[in-house]
């Protein structure tokens, strides 16, 4: 290893390091990874660094509108703070504590962990909502994890988010586009709801700029009275723990192929270093799959020294079973090698990691407003990210981080911080969401980081050309409002609405549903050949869109069998097409009220009388609940393009909306005994 690697000269730093990295700080968890599994949940909770700050956090939340909590990954911010709030009564009286995450996989993982710690069934007291999957119950859920995108959607039905007492915006340092929009809107909501509490948590001191954002001089001027002013000032709390050093090693020379370099490094570590799990940071499913294949082959040909490795991928889109493998403790005498996207950088904590291999890259979104092309490209990470990644090695004992780049590159070429996503994205979805929330002056919106005027103008142009915005840049009626209501990209929503006129809604909805999920194919690592064969079976000359239709037909013919999906490498969960349609058009749901006149329905939204159009295949079939695409009025209101649905999906895909409508309906039509 000596000729290959050069030891680094970085020194351990403290939390308030001027460059913004939080490194070499680790929690005071028991120093043996295996000891972790035996302690009761209560003991484990008390050992987390955040536990010492429990009273301080609760005091700050009580006395400040906004509290910013900075603390290293794994210190207990996400799993503990919502529980402290609940214990302190913030969920009493039917109120709900929300905790947002930029990533779906993180939402699922932390929600199930918190439910487990509290000894409750997931979906009851503790629940979660991600797009197309709602494991929560509005009547009993008191701690709700959700993606920041889903919380933005909830604002369409409840602009002031009235059911939440505390909203914790987690992983704020990531500066995802939805997080930034959310922060801007929450700042507005706070003015109307002084009792609402915000917690913004972050793994790095990037929090400073967020604190400045919530502390604008205007707010200070407005608040004359001392007490009010101090309540409006954001409080900042740093969670610190005793740390384990992480030794940094750099490459002597730049590497040509980081996947191959990562594989060689893992083999070297496994060969020469004592026990301890390895975490490798690559960029996406494609290079992770290649690395796993190479590593498995090379380990096999290397002989007995390389046995004992458990090689696992980690990226969003994994099945629950695959996720469980990654989080379960490493069996004695084995070494876990987790090959991950940057999801393991701060969103998820893996116990037992002692060695980190950092490729220096991640997949990032880049948008060029001039060419209107948005690319997801493999791009160099920032110093702040490199420090986060290294920090993953020091959780349980002193660790080592192998950077697959030179020290010179790190010092002189890596940028200090990443660029907020909003400054490198296509803003079409973002603009339409703000418009739908009644924010008309988009250019004047109070952003944590302003997007470029070019991107803004480009987005307005696109929406105008889609017919979503009118000459005054207001949402058009009904198209603009319909497109905004569908939780899909505006282009896809528009495609669905247009298909209605072209008479191909059935097909387009299937295609739209497939386009709106990550992949219809099951992650095929280890079975690439079989996956390719399966793809060939469905391939259509016209391209992917028609291929999706073939797959869906096959799925229907199989009687929607999960076995069929498994055999054909198709993601069964992705095939809930009708449910996806429900998610898009929940506002167009209708219930059968009477059989008179060939079936009279009432819209759940407004109790309007509607009928199935005679052109529909469901005319005279009269399912109990249906969703329509559009209404045409002749002698009466007819629903065109109707699809039957299960009423329980409504509460699942649009809990707020549905509940609210029910209440309103009850007010309008009181039951008279």
Binding site for Mg ion (CB under 5 A): 78
| Nearer CB in complex with Mg ion: 44/78 | 78
| Nearer CB in complex with Mg ion: 143/650 | 143
Report the nearest approach of ligand CDP to the CB of residue 505 (Å).
40
Give the HSE-up count for residue 494: Cα atoms under 13 Å, Cβ half-sphere: 16
Report the nearest approach of Mg ion to the CB of residue 77 (Å).
5
Q: Give the separation between CA 138 and CA 144, rounded to whole angstroms.
A: 10
Q: Give the separation between CA 367 and CA 369, rounded to whole angstroms.
A: 6
Report the nearest approach of Mg ion to the CB of residue 101 (Å).
8
Distances (CA, A) of 478 to 257, 483, 606: 52, 9, 15
3-state DSSP helix/strand/coil percent for the chain, to nearest 5? Answer: 45, 20, 35
Q: Give the separation between CA 336 and CA 262, rounded to whole angstroms.
A: 15
| Nearer CB in complex with ligand CDP: 113/403 | 113
Report the nearest approach of ligand CDP to the CB of residue 401 (Å).
18
Q: Which does 109 bind (CB under 5 to 8 A by kind): Mg ion, ligand CDP, none?
A: ligand CDP
Distances (CA, A) of 271 to 207, 294, 392, 415: 40, 16, 21, 34
Q: Which does 67 bind (CB under 5 to 8 A by kind): ligand CDP, Mg ion, none?
A: none
Q: Which does 383 bind (CB under 5 to 8 A by kind): ligand CDP, Mg ion, none?
A: none
Q: Pairing between strand 5-7 and 246-251? A: antiparallel
Q: Give the separation between CA 594 and CA 180, rounded to whole angstroms.
A: 47
Q: Which does 349 bind (CB under 5 to 8 A by kind): Mg ion, ligand CDP, none?
A: ligand CDP
Report the nearest approach of ligand CDP to the CB of residue 119 (Å).
15
Q: Which does 75 bind (CB under 5 to 8 A by kind): Mg ion, ligand CDP, none?
A: ligand CDP
| Nearer CB in complex with ligand CDP: 110/288 | 110
| Nearer CB in complex with Mg ion: 78/388 | 78
Neighbours of 616 (CB within 10 A): 18
Helix (H, G, I), strand (E, B) or coil at 177: helix
Q: Which does 76 bind (CB under 5 to 8 A by kind): Mg ion, ligand CDP, none?
A: ligand CDP
| Nearer CB in complex with ligand CDP: 78/362 | 78
Give the HSE-up count for residue 172: Cα atoms under 13 Å, Cβ half-sphere: 32
Report the nearest approach of ligand CDP to the CB of residue 346 (Å).
7
Report the nearest approach of Mg ion to the CB of residue 92 (Å).
25
Q: Which does 4 bind (CB under 5 to 8 A by kind): ligand CDP, Mg ion, none?
A: none
The residue of the chain with the least Cβ separation from Mg ion equals 78
Q: Which does 113 bind (CB under 5 to 8 A by kind): Mg ion, ligand CDP, none?
A: ligand CDP
Task: Give start and end residues of each alpha helix (H) in 100-172.
Answer: 104-118, 148-157
Report the nearest approach of Mg ion to the CB of residue 106 (Å).
7
| Nearer CB in complex with ligand CDP: 351/652 | 351
Report the nearest approach of ligand CDP to the CB of residue 344 (Å).
11
| Nearer CB in complex with Mg ion: 110/354 | 110
The residues that touch ligand CDP, with contacts defined as CB under 6 A, are 48, 71, 73-80, 109-110, 113, 327, 349, 351
Neighbours of 550 (CB within 10 A): 13
Neighbours of 175 (CB within 10 A): 23
Helix (H, G, I), strand (E, B) or coil at 608: coil
Per DSSP, the residues of 51-81 read: GGGHHHHHHHHHH-SEEEEEE-TTSSHHHHH
Q: Which does 74 bind (CB under 5 to 8 A by kind): ligand CDP, Mg ion, none?
A: ligand CDP
Q: Give the separation between CA 639 and CA 612, rounded to whole angstroms.
A: 5
| Nearer CB in complex with Mg ion: 78/455 | 78
């Amino acid at each position: 290893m000596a000729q290959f690697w050069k030891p680094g000269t970085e020194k351990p730093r403290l939390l308030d390091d001027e460059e913004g990295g939080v490194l070499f700080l680790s929690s005071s968890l028991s120093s043996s990874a295996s000891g972790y599994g035996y302690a009761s949940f209560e003991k484990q909770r008390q050992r987390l660094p955040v536990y010492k700050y429990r009273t301080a956090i609760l005091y700050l939340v009580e006395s400040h509108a906004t509290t910013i909590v900075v603390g290293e990954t794994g210190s207990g911010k996400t799993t503990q703070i919502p529980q402290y709030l609940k214990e302190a009564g913030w969920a009493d009286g039917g109120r709900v504590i929300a905790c947002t995450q930029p990533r779906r996989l993180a939402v699922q993982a932390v929600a199930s962990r918190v439910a487990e710690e509290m000894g409750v069934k997931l979906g009851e007291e503790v629940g979660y909502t991600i797009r197309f999957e709602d494991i929560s119950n509005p009547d009993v859920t008191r701690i709700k994890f959700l993606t920041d995108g889903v919380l933005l959607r909830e604002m369409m039905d409840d602009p002031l988010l009235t059911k939440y007492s505390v909203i914790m915006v987690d992983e704020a340092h990531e500066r995802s586009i939805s997080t930034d929009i959310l922060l801007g809107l929450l700042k507005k909501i706070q003015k109307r709801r002084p009792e609402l509490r915000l917690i913004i948590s972050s793994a790095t001191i990037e929090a400073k700029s967020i604190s400045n954002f919530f502390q604008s001089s205007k707010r200070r001027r407005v608040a004359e009275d001392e007490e009010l002013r101090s309540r409006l000032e954001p409080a900042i709390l740093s969670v610190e723990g005793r740390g384990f050093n992480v030794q940094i090693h750099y490459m002597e020379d730049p590497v040509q192929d980081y996947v191959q370099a990562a594989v060689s490094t893992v083999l070297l570590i496994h060969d020469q270093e004592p026990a301890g799990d390895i975490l490798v940071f690559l960029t996406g499913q494609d290079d992770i799959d290649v690395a796993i294949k190479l590593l498995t082959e090379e380990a096999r040909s290397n002989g007995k020294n390389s046995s004992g490795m458990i090689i696992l991928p980690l990226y969003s889109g994994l099945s629950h079973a695959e996720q469980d493998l990654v989080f379960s403790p490493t069996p004695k005498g084995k070494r876990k090698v987790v090959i991950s996207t940057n999801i393991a950088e701060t969103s998820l904590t893996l116990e037992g990691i002692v060695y980190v291999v950092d490729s220096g890259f991640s997949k990032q979104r880049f948008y060029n407003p001039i060419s209107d092309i948005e690319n997801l490209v493999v791009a160099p990470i920032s110093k702040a990210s490199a420090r986060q990644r290294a920090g993953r090695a020091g959780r349980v004992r002193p660790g080592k981080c192998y950077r697959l780049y030179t020290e010179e590159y790190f010092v002189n070429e890596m940028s200090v911080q990443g660029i907020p996503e909003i400054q490198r994205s296509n803003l079409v979805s973002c603009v339409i969401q703000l418009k739908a929330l009644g924010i008309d002056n988009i250019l004047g919106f109070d952003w944590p980081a302003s997007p470029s005027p070019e991107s803004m103008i480009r987005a307005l142009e696109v929406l105008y050309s889609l017919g979503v915005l009118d000459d005054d840049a207001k949402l058009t009626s009904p198209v603009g409002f319909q497109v905004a209501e569908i939780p899909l990209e505006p282009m896809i929503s528009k495609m669905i609405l247009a298909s209605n006129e072209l008479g191909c809604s059935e097909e387009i909805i299937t295609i739209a549903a497939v386009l709106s999920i990550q992949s219809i194919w099951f992650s095929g690592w280890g079975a690439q050949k079989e996956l390719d064969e399966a793809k060939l079976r469905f391939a259509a000359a016209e391209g992917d869109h028609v291929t999706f239709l073939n797959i869906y037909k096959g799925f229907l013919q199989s009687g929607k069998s999960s076995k069929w999906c498994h055999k054909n490498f198709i993601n069964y969960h992705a095939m809930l097409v009708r449910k996806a349609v429900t998610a898009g058009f929940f506002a167009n749901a209708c219930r059968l009220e009477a059989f008179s006149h060939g079936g009279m329905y009432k819209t759940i939204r407004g109790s309007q009388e509607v009928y199935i159009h005679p052109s529909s295949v469901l005319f005279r079939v009269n399912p109990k609940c249906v969703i329509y695409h559009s209404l045409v009025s002749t002698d009466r209101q007819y629903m065109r393009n109707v699809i039957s649905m299960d009423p329980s999906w409504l509460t699942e895909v649009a809990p707020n909306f549905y509940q609210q409508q029910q209440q309103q309906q009850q007010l309008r039509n009181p039951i008279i005994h």
